[in-house]
Amino acid sequence: MGEEVQKVEAGARKAWPVVTSWVGGISAIIGLFVTLGGGVTWFITHNKQKAELRDKMAVAQNQAAQGDYQASIQSYSDILKDKALYPPALDGQLSATMLWVENFHLVLREGQNPAEVIAPSIDQIFILLDAGLARTKGTRAADVRAHIGWAHWLNQHIGEREFGPETEQNLRAALAADPSNVYANSMLGNWLLQNNGSVTEAAQDFNTAVATGKVRPYVRSLQLAGLIDLDKPGARAELMKAVNEMRKAGEPLDRDRKKRVLEYCCEPMLTDRKELVESLSAVPEDDTWKTYLWLDDQPAEGRDAADKRSMRDFIQANLFEISGDRDNALTKYRAVKQEMSPFQDSLKSAVDAALVRLSAK
C-alpha cells in the first residue's frame, strides 16, 4: 500500500511541470494576442488620425484656393492645436497669409471707419508673418519680408494707421537678401509709382519681377495698376511696353483694362500730341499696331463701328507720321477727316492739327 502511494506521488510530481509548462504556454499565447490586438488598434487609430489630418489639410488648402484666406488660416490653426509645430500646416498657414496680403480688400458699410475695420485683420497678418519670418530662410524669408512691407503699406494706405518708412524699408531689405525676389521687386515697383518715385526705377523692378517667370498675373496686376492714369512722363511708354509683352506672350488682359489702356495712351480727348507720340513710339511700329488692335478687339456695330474705324485710321496716320512717312500720313489724315462722325470733336481737332502740322513741312 505504501509503495502504491509513493508511486502516485511520484507521478504527480512528474505531471506538475508539464501542467505548469502548458499553462505558461497558454499565458504567453494570450499575451501575444493582447499585444497583437493592441498593435492592430494602434495601427487603425493611427491611420484614422492620418486620414483626418489629410482631410483637414485639404479643407484648409481648398479654402485658400477659393480666396477665403481667413477661414483657411483658422483651419490651419485648428490643425496646429492638435498637432503643434506640424510643418505642412505652418507652411500652409503662412502661404494663406501672404495670399491674403496680396488680395486684401475691405467691404465697408456706410459710415464705417476703414481704420477700425482693417485693424484686427492687419494685426493678425503681422503676427503670422513675423512668426513665419522667424522660421524661414533664403528666398522664402525674402518673400515673407516683402509681404510684411506690403502689409505696412495696406496699414498706411487703407487703414491710415501708420505713416513711417516701414513699407520701403522692408521691401528693400527683402531685395538686399534676394535681389531677384519677385514679390519685393513688383511691390516696390508699384509703391514707387504710387508715391511719386522714379518711373525708370519702377520699370527696372517690374522687368526683374517679370524675368523670374513667377506669379506673372500678380506682377502684371501691380504693374498695370501703378501705370494706368499715372500723369508722369514715361508712364505711357512703360505701359505700352508692358501690354505689348503681354500680347506677345499670350498673357490675358480683361476687357476693362484694355479699354483703360487705350483711353490713357491713345484717346485724343485725354492725351495730347506729346503723350500720344510717347505711347506710339514705345515699341517698334509693327508691334505698336498689333498691340493696338489687340487692345481694341471688342466688336462694334453701326455708328460705333464707324467711329472705331476712324480711330484706327487716325492711329495708323500717326504711326506713318512718327516713322517719317509724311505722304502716307497726310493721305490717311485726310481720309479720316472725310469719314469720321461729326460728333467726334476731339478726333476732329487732332486731325486738323495734324494736317496743319504736316502741310507746313
Report which DSSP code applies to 267: -
How many CA atoms are closer than 13 Å to the CA of 174, on its beta-carbon side? 29
Tell me the pTM: 0.84
More confident: 34 or 168: 168
- pLDDT value of residue 198: 97
85-112 residue pLDDT tens: 899 999 999 999 999 999 998 777 777 7
DSSP string for residues in 237-267 = HHHHHHHHHHHHHT----HHHHHHHHHHHH-
Q: Could you tell me what percent of the chain has a pLDDT over 70?
A: 87
User: Which segments within 217-307 are labelled E, that is strand?
Assistant: none
Residue 179: strand, helix, or coil: coil
- pLDDT one-digit tens code per residue, 237-256: 999 999 999 999 999 999 99
| Dist CA 239 CA 257 (whole Å) | 11
Q: Angle 2-65/69-82 helices, nearest 10 degrees?
A: 160
pLDDT tops 90 at residue 41:
no
DSSP letter string over 193-220? HHTT--HHHHHHHHHHHHHHTSSHHHHH
3-state secondary structure 71-109: HHHHHHHHHHHHCCCCHHHHHHHHHHHHHHHHCCCCCCC
- 157-202 pLDDT, tens digit each: 888 888 889 999 999 999 999 999 999 999 999 999 999 999 999 9
Contact residues for 357 (Cβ-Cβ < 8 A; gap 6+)? none
CB contact at 8 A, 178 and 142: yes
3-class DSSP assignment, residue 159 = coil
